[in-house]
Amino acid sequence: MHLSSSSPTGIRFLASIKHGHGLKPSARAAGIHREVGYRWLRESYLGFRRDGLSPAEATETLGFTTSRLPAWEAAVGAASGRHHLQVSVEAEATFWEAFVAGKNLAQSALAAGVGRSTAYRWLQARFDRLRGQKVTLKRCQALLRLSDQRCHGLEHERLIRLATKRNAAAAAQHAAVLSSGHYADQVLTSTVSEAKQRRADRNTKYWQHMREGKSNAEACRLLGMHRRTGTMLRQANNYRIPSHKPEKVAAGRYLETRERLQIADLLDLGHSMRAVARELGRHPSTIKRELDRHRDLEGRYLPHTADHDARAQRARPKAYKLVANSRLRRLVQRKLNRCWSPDEICGWMKKTYPDDCSLRLCPETIYRSLLLREGQGLNKRYATKLRTGRRIRKTRWRNRTGQGSRIRNMTMIDQRPAEVETRLEAGHWEGDLVIGVGSVSAMVTLRERKTQYGIVVNLPHDHTAASVNAAIIGAFTKLPPALKRTLTWDQGVEMASHEDLTEETGVPVYFAERSSPWQRGANENFNGLLRQYFPKGTNLAVHSTQHVSNVMRALNTRPRKTMGYDTPAARFRAERGASITTMR
Do 33 and 118 fall into the same domain? Answer: no
Tell me what pLDDT residue 401 has: 45
Do 532 and 473 fall into the same domain? Answer: yes
State pTM to two decimals: 0.45
pLDDT one-digit tens code per residue, 432-478: 999 998 888 999 999 999 999 999 999 998 999 999 999 999 999 98
Total domain count, the chain: 5
Average pLDDT over residues 68-87: 73
Do 430 and 578 fall into the same domain? Answer: yes
Average pLDDT over residues 103-117: 89
pLDDT band at 83; cut points 50, 70, 90: low
Q: Is 355 exposed, middle or buried (0-12, 13-18, 19+ CB in 10 A)?
A: exposed
* pLDDT cut 90: percent of the chain above it: 38
Average pLDDT over residues 45-60: 87
Instruction: Compute CA distances 490 → 202, 510, 515, whole Å.
Output: 82, 8, 9
Q: Are 491 and 404 in contact (CB under 8 A)?
A: yes
Average pLDDT over residues 287-298: 90
Tell me what pLDDT residue 566 has: 93
**Residue 21 domain-assigned (yes or no):** yes
**Residue 251 domain-assigned (yes or no):** no
Do 423 and 500 fall into the same domain? Answer: yes
> Distance between CA 497 and CA 25 in Å, rounded?
90
Tell me what pLDDT residue 398 has: 43
Tell me what pLDDT residue 182 has: 73
CATH of residue 572's domain is 3.30.420.10
Lowest-confidence pick of 186-195, 331-340, 473-482, 572-581: 186-195
Average pLDDT over residues 13-31: 83
Tell me what pLDDT residue 251 has: 53
Tell me what pLDDT residue 317 has: 76
Do 435 and 375 fall into the same domain? Answer: no
Tell me what pLDDT residue 504 has: 93
Q: What is the extent of the structural domain holding 424? A: 413-583
Listed residue (235, 209, 204, 211) closest to 220, CA to CA = 209
pLDDT one-digit tens code per residue, 527-557: 999 999 999 989 999 999 999 999 999 999 9
For 53, the 3-state DSSP assignment is coil
Identify how many contiguous H helices and E strands the chain contains and give both numbers: 28, 5
> Distance between CA 7 and CA 5 in Å, rounded?
6
Tell me what pLDDT residue 385 has: 87
Tell me what pLDDT residue 247 has: 54
Do 535 and 464 fall into the same domain? Answer: yes
Q: What residues contact residue 562 under an 8 Å CB cut-off, 6+ apart?
A: 452
Average pLDDT over residues 515-523: 90
Do 476 and 575 fall into the same domain? Answer: yes
Where is 480: in which H helix or E strand? none
Q: Are 340 and 348 in contact (CB under 8 A)?
A: yes
Q: Is the pLDDT of residue 249 over 60?
A: no
Which string of b and e fits 475-488 if b means at least 16 CB within 10 Å?
Answer: bbeebeebbbbbbb
pLDDT one-digit tens code per residue, 127-142: 999 998 999 999 999 9
Do 462 and 378 fall into the same domain? Answer: no
Listed residue (42, 39, 45, 46) closest to 3, CA to CA = 39
Beta strands across the sheet bearing 509-511 = 454-459, 442-448, 428-435, 486-489, 509-511
Q: Are 273 and 287 in contact (CB under 8 A)?
A: yes
Do 452 and 501 fall into the same domain? Answer: yes
* pLDDT cut 70: percent of the chain above it: 92
Tell me what pLDDT residue 583 has: 66
pLDDT one-digit tens code per residue, 353-407: 998 888 889 999 999 888 876 667 888 888 888 888 777 776 554 443 445 557 8
**Residue 136 domain-assigned (yes or no):** yes
pLDDT band at 246; cut points 50, 70, 90: low
Beta pairing partners, 433: 444
**Residue 250 domain-assigned (yes or no):** no
Do 441 and 533 fall into the same domain? Answer: yes
Do 430 and 498 fall into the same domain? Answer: yes
Q: Are 50 and 77 in contact (CB under 8 A)?
A: no
Q: Peptide bond before 317: cis, by omega within 30 degrees of 0?
A: yes
**Residue 187 domain-assigned (yes or no):** no
Q: Is the pLDDT of residue 256 over 70?
A: yes
Listed residue (522, 424, 428) closest to 484, CA to CA = 428
Lowest-confidence pick of 34-38, 178-182, 310-314, 503-507: 178-182
Do 147 and 282 fall into the same domain? Answer: no
**Of 120, 146, 168, which marks where a domain is finished?**
168
> Distance between CA 164 and CA 449 in Å, rounded?
73
Q: What mean pLDDT, rounded, does the chain reach?
A: 86
pLDDT one-digit tens code per residue, 215-234: 889 999 888 999 899 999 88
